[in-house]
Amino acid sequence: MADFVGAIDQGTTSSRFMIFDRNGSEIARRQVEHRQLLPAAGRVEHDAREIWENVRKTMDAALADAGLVAADLAAIGIANQRETVVLWERATGEPVAPAIVWQDTRTAADLKDLDAELLRERTGLPPATYFSATKVRWLLDDQPGLRKRAERGEVLFGTIDSWLIWNLTGGGLHITDVTNASRTQLMNLATLEWDPELLALFDIPAAMLPAIRSSAEVYGEALGTVPLAAAIGDQQAALFGQTCFAPGDAKCTYGTGNFVLLNTGTTPVRSTHGLLTTVAYKFKNQLPVYALEGSVAASGSAIQWLRDQLGILDSAADSETLAASVEDSAGVCFVPAFSGLFAPYWRPDARAAIVGLSRFHTAAHITRAALEAICHQTRDVVVAMARDSGTELDCLQVDGGVTANALCMQLQADILGVPVRRPAVAETTALGAAYAAGLAVGFWRSEDELRAHRREARVWQPTWPAARRTESIDRWNKAVSRTLDWV
């Protein structure tokens, strides 16, 4: 049998292909960025064809780097940016319009007419421009005759996973996985099928939709011979790559924003505290596993802001040295609500604030406050998760760019009051896609085998006494309240 598994990680800014061996160790990786098309305020688009070509390039290049050929891969899995919408022609495989990216807010005005109660109940998601449904409707309304063609099945809809599967298999296979489908706002979270009432609500013809499949099964063949055996949304892939297979396991990915996902087992937990309910993964014909998800809009981007706008850091990594030069933030709080607050507040009217300043304070205190903010925002989501799910976290698995900052991760353990663990393989998203594909073809046999691969690069234990934690949390809450009702 082939000795390696390949993973496509198709993200918002770049596409990469990684090759892993039996131990889950990285053998090769290639990455290519694609263009962010910004045709007007609030509009963010990608060229789906460019994305596909980049994926192809990274696959060829990574195989060549490793001195391997396609036949050396036992399977390929896909992790992808979620919610982004591609519409293409069945006959030619050509996109009919630029892909509308999840960040795009062009459909904001359409939200007020939506039944929030119904959407939350059926899909686990509130009305938001974030999800695919309003974007598909926008495209169908925008081009004369397009909806008619979609009704005849001539024009197809897919999220990026569908688009890649269609292309990887040479056209004709029009499918998606449950995790990606759960972010369209068109899938019924309980039945895992397209919901006819929602399709009618958004005026989207069923004929244009992909068939919904599990996240890990052999869908077809890629590169001619390799089983294409997994597709999973990127945040869910990171949860899988972190081997968060048990209810109560949670991970936080720290990048531009923070994404916290909690495995809640085989029953969906409806959030009453501002979180999303979503499918974590579904393995072949087994029961689906659900997750609660909390997204924080600005975390690592606060560090970028200190670097680029204020100019008080030379690099993001400098934030650690500078913040470590002071004992604490000396009462300063920084709430980076640059574009409002996401989970668990959902307050678009909030704007960022740095509060508690006196003449004594320096750039070091403000930087330390920014690191604390990253951690408090994660804690706010974790607290909401505990309220929704009734289970307290006993540790948090972490990954993403900010986790390079050891001081920040120590603060995270201190503020959360539970250990924080970072795995040796930082690329948990690609690893999750590889794990799912490898399990599907029997390359790996069990979740336990995957857990055994896990090498902790570092664990941070909480050190703060309870009184210090409480004081920090109280100050943070007070600071958050100062940012609300600003616009």
Residues that bind ligand ADP (CB under 6 A): 255-256, 300-301, 303-304, 316-317, 319-320, 400-402, 404-405, 408
Q: Between 314 and 485, name the residue whose CB sits nearer to ligand ADP.
A: 314
Measure the CA–CA gap between 321 and 311, rounded to whole angstroms.
Answer: 15
**Residue 144: cis peptide before it, omega within 30 degrees of 0:** no
Q: How far is the CB of 305 from ligand ADP (least distance, A)?
A: 9
Q: How far is the CB of 13 from ligand ADP (least distance, A)?
A: 6
Q: How far is the CB of 315 from ligand ADP (least distance, A)?
A: 8
* Short-list 21, 335, 48, 250, CA closest to 167: 48
Q: How far is the CB of 321 from ligand ADP (least distance, A)?
A: 10
Q: How far is the CB of 398 from ligand ADP (least distance, A)?
A: 11
Question: Is the CB of residue 452 less than 8 Å from the CB of residue 445?
Answer: no
Q: How far is the CB of 419 from ligand ADP (least distance, A)?
A: 20
Query: What's the angle, vertex CA 281, arms to CA 73 and CA 123, rounded to 5?
Result: 140
| Pairing, β 333-335 against β 289-296 | unpaired
Q: How far is the CB of 237 from ligand ADP (least distance, A)?
A: 13
Q: Between 114 and 407, name the residue whose CB sits nearer to ligand ADP.
A: 407
Q: Between 96 and 375, name the residue whose CB sits nearer to ligand ADP.
A: 375
Which position's Cβ is nearest ligand ADP? Answer: 401
Q: What residues contact 390, with CB distance under 8 A and at least 6 apart?
A: none
As beta bridge partners, residue 19 has: 6, 28
Q: Between 268 and 336, name the residue whose CB sits nearer to ligand ADP.
A: 336
Quick one: tokens of 366?
A: 């403000």
As beta bridge partners, residue 6 has: 19, 76
Q: How far is the CB of 362 from ligand ADP (least distance, A)?
A: 18
Measure the CA–CA gap between 59 and 41, rounded to whole angstroms.
Answer: 34
Q: Between 324 and 386, name the residue whose CB sits nearer to ligand ADP.
A: 324
Q: Between 158 and 257, name the residue whose CB sits nearer to ligand ADP.
A: 257
Q: Between 336 and 356, name the residue whose CB sits nearer to ligand ADP.
A: 336
Q: How far is the CB of 35 from ligand ADP (least distance, A)?
A: 16
Q: Between 321 and 391, name the residue whose CB sits nearer to ligand ADP.
A: 321
Q: How far is the CB of 404 from ligand ADP (least distance, A)?
A: 4
Q: Between 291 and 297, name the residue whose CB sits nearer to ligand ADP.
A: 297
Q: Determine the residue type at 148.
A: K
Question: Is the CB of residue 446 less than 8 Å from the CB of residue 412?
Answer: no
